[in-house]
Amino acid sequence: MERINLALVGCGGMGTRHLYGLRTLARTPFNRIDLKALCDINPENARMAAAEAGKLLGVEPAIFTDLEAMAAAMPELNAVDVVTDPAVHHEVSCKALDLGLHVMVEKPMAITVRACLMMIQAARRNGRVLSVAENYRRDPSARLAHHMVTSGAIGTPYMGLFHDVSEGDRIFITPWRHLKNRGGPLVDMGVHFADLIRYQLGEIHEVYGDVRLVEPVRRKADTMWRPYEYYQKQYEDMAPVVTADAEDSSVAVFRMVGGATVSWVVGLGGHGGCSTQLILGTEGCIEGYGTRGGRVRMRRGRGDFQEQEEMLAQAEGFEQDAVSAHFFPTGLTAADREVDWKLLAMEYCEFGEAIAEGREVEVDGKEGMKDVAAVYAVFESAMTGGAVRMAEVESGEIDAYQAEIDAALGIL
Ligand SMILES: NC(=O)c1ccc[n+]([C@@H]2O[C@H](COP(=O)([O-])OP(=O)(O)OC[C@H]3O[C@@H](n4cnc5c(N)ncnc54)[C@H](O)[C@@H]3O)[C@@H](O)[C@H]2O)c1
């Protein structure tokens, strides 16, 4: 099997988790990826990740603080995995693509639609793979819901609800997640949700929405529950208070190309929360769009809800692909403590196959851009006060909200 020499660029919280994904993949017969190098502008983060990689993979990769210097020093590299914060995804990815490297980039694909379009062009002109690491839809719960919707198990979907609001004023993982020019909380979480909505219900035609900044002052959480050493250190170093300028609350209606409408209520702040995910069809409904380590359940007609186990037992024609079946033989992930790493391993596996065998990746640049555009459509609608067409947001014709970010970051 052709080997892929990979460098991880961005060795923070998610970068550390990617190392666990690589370790998970390395234990399978599907692995063709060798981690050769780490790059982070913060040398301390690169050093920590190298030590972690040494423990997980048995070899400490070389460390760098500059992408071009890394590529010059290691001509054997084929690909990079970009896990920096989103404000520089386009800059790092375009540079890597122009150096002839294949790119897998974390979600959100980029900080604005224009930045996504730059990346798509860079991949095209260099003939390189560009894959967006969107993990939620890869969970078997999302795959099963997708099978049920597309096979007509609930008839024709006519409405959806995607309501996910967590109240409070706590800093959401990192301070940068509250800054508009670095990818606020709605973009950070919203791209996952937009991706699930598009995955289950098809393309979005038009969006009408509103956004608010409800918590302009964010406070450090009382504890950091993530066990990784990196997250603990990040938490210790974190300022007690962050002034937020990125909106944290949103409401929208998505009119889908297929005729359904979706109600979107997504936020992280304020004094009340909600969590309802529903796909309503003419002959039944599905609770949940699927998510990492999540569950879905389904009702046919006016019968009782079937839990995921029963849905799986009765799902005619539903089959997991070989890699997914290897990691999730029961088709259930809710109690799987390694689900995060396994989904990452699946992303790496697909990326490696795309490079070595020329297969298409599921979430390519265009798909990743559509997720970013769907979230920004809510912001753009709030700016214009009317509905916006997705085609105009995706082409960059409607960009009043994002123009400020593009100008600040020099995205031309
Ligand atoms: N798919 C998921 O479930 C999931 C979960 C968490 C984070 N993420 C995504 O992963 C990305 C990283 O998030 P995080 O929480 O790890 O952030 P983080 O702040 O913990 O880490 C970012 C790292 O990138 C480094 N960096 C910044 N600019 C760089 C550059 N130009 N070159 C090299 N390194 C650079 C920083 O020094 C830092 O070490 C984001 O896009 C985020 O949305 C995805």
Per-residue tens of pLDDT for the chain, all 412 residues = 889 999 999 999 999 999 999 999 999 999 999 999 999 999 999 999 999 999 999 999 999 999 999 999 999 999 999 999 999 999 999 999 999 999 999 999 999 999 999 999 999 999 999 999 999 999 999 999 999 999 999 999 999 999 999 999 999 999 999 999 999 999 999 999 999 999 999 999 999 999 999 999 999 999 998 989 999 999 999 999 999 999 999 999 999 999 999 999 999 999 999 999 999 999 999 999 999 999 999 999 999 999 999 999 999 999 999 999 999 999 999 999 999 999 999 999 999 999 999 999 999 999 999 999 999 999 999 999 999 999 999 999 999 999 999 999 999 9
For 272, the token pair is: 């009340």
Residue whose pair of structure tokens reads 């608010």 in the numeric block = 212
Sketch out the chain's domains with CATH numbers.
4-134 (3.40.50.720), 137-333 (3.30.360.10)
For 263, the token pair is: 């109600």
Instruction: Specify the residue with its C-alpha closest to ligand 1, atom 28.
Output: 84
pLDDT of residue 260: 98
Centroid of ligand 1 to alpha carbon of 13 (angstroms): 7
Centroid of ligand 1 to alpha carbon of 69 (angstroms): 20
Question: Does residue 46's CB lie within 6 angstroms of at least one atom of ligand 1?
Answer: no
Is residue 353 within 8 A of residue 372, CB to CB? The reply is no
Centroid of ligand 1 to alpha carbon of 31 (angstroms): 24
Question: Does residue 306's CB lie within 6 angstroms of at least one atom of ligand 1?
Answer: no
Centroid of ligand 1 to alpha carbon of 197 (angstroms): 24
Q: How many CA atoms lie within 13 A of 115 on its CB side?
A: 31
Question: Does residue 340's CB lie within 6 angstroms of at least one atom of ligand 1?
Answer: no
For 236, the token pair is: 């210790």
Instruction: Specify the residue with its C-alpha closest to ligand 1, atom 40.
Output: 85
For 247, the token pair is: 């909106």
Centroid of ligand 1 to alpha carbon of 234 (angstroms): 12
pLDDT of residue 266: 98
Question: Does residue 37's CB lie within 6 angstroms of at least one atom of ligand 1?
Answer: no
Instruction: Specify the residue with its C-alpha closest to ligand 1, atom 38.
Output: 12
Instruction: Specify the residue with its C-alpha closest to ligand 1, atom 39.
Output: 12
Q: Mutate which of 9, 14, 52 to test ligand 1's pocket (most atoms within 8 Å of Cβ)?
A: 14
For 342, the token pair is: 């396994």
**236, amino acid identity:** E
